[in-house]
Amino acid sequence: MPTNPTLNLGLIGAGRIGRVHAENIALRIPNARTLIVADVDEAAAQRCADEFRVNFAVKDYRMVLDSPAIDAVLICSATHTHAHLIQEAARAGKHIFCEKPIDHNLTVVDAALAAVDAAGVKLQIGFNRRFDANYARVRRAIAEGEIGAPQLMHIISRDPAPPPAEYIAVSGGLFLDMMIHDFDMARFLLGSEVTRVYAAAANLVDPAIGEAGDVDTALVTLTFANGALAVIDNSRRAVYGYDQRVEVLGSAGAVRTENNYPNTMLLLGPERIARDLPLHFFMERYQESYRAELQAFVDAVLNHAPVPVTGADGRAPIVLAEAAARSVREGRVVEIGE
């Protein structure tokens, strides 16, 4: 447990998301600092260290876990390493921030969470969209009763272009890789647990995705314990750009969010009114949420407070992803109690 007002962090993984966190710590989170960055690609670790004022760059992540100077670790490595690293970090007595998902296998996830509980350390999962100002305001509108009892929710999440087939092969599939954020958002916004899942999916965007054994287009309906219904629609390609919207209908009104744009310009002419396309992809759209989630983790550790996104929050969307995949395979409604 840190004894000073600054949290000393070790970063494991110097790829795209690791660099985002390193930059935020260096420039935008005054009560934290990164002391060590580790990556199997030592050159990548060194580039990250040089750019974001990190003292040491190493190849072996165990140097992070073995350092008595490190209070907490950020796990930003490949998905298949997350659960193992969580267990090792917990045994080393380090608090943990881990990118989603914990793992694709629930048995592995449960072993990681058990290690965290046994060690008594904090674990926060990187569902950054909870920290987006738009979605946080929707959550407050629901929690404070501004729209009455929630009845129907629609979450739209569509990417501007499909990822390469080689990524699809290791991604875990659309439900675990892409819709997992929306499963988390559904639970977060409604403040209730899902009881039933029904999914339909197809390969309509890129034949290579189908050849890799995945789908690229899906609709999932959720039934919640509080009686509300939700639908999530995902597509790997929306030709007009990154589409991220939510609407919730309640007994006393509704609340919705629109896409974020790079500017507020409207082009007005005799035949049309037009504007620029939405912010291109998740790194631009959710930039501030990455800073906010990490600041929340730092504050929770320094203030001995609960983290806002727990291991249980990380586990629940994996259950929903498995249920959705089973629903597609078997063509039926899947009860979560199964």
Q: Report in angstroms the alpha-carbon separations of 200 from 76, 130, 219, 314.
A: 31, 26, 5, 24
Percent of the chain with pLDDT over 70: 99
In degrees and rounded to multiples of 5, residue 157 shows phi and psi of -145, 110
79, 104 Cβ separation under 8 angstroms: yes
> How crowded is residue 125: how many other Cβ atoms within 10 Å of its Cβ?
29
pLDDT at position 136: 95
Q: What is the mean pLDDT of residues 319-325?
A: 98
In this structure, of 11-20, 50-59, 182-191, 270-279, the range with the lowest mean pLDDT score is 270-279
Q: What is the mean pLDDT of residues 130-138?
A: 95
pLDDT at position 2: 46
pLDDT at position 166: 86
The band of 53, judged by pLDDT with boundaries at 50, 70 and 90, is very high
Q: What is the mean pLDDT of residues 158-185?
A: 93
217, 236 Cβ separation under 8 angstroms: yes
- Nearest alpha-carbon partner for 75 in 94, 93, 58: 94
Which domains are delineated in the chain? Answer: 7-121 (3.40.50.720), 132-285+317-335 (3.30.360.10)
pLDDT at position 4: 57
- Nearest alpha-carbon partner for 322 in 298, 310, 306, 338: 338
pLDDT at 278 over 90: no
> How crowded is residue 213: how many other Cβ atoms within 10 Å of its Cβ?
10
Mean of per-residue pLDDT scores for the chain: 95
Per the model's pLDDT, the better-predicted residue between 44 and 279 turns out to be 44
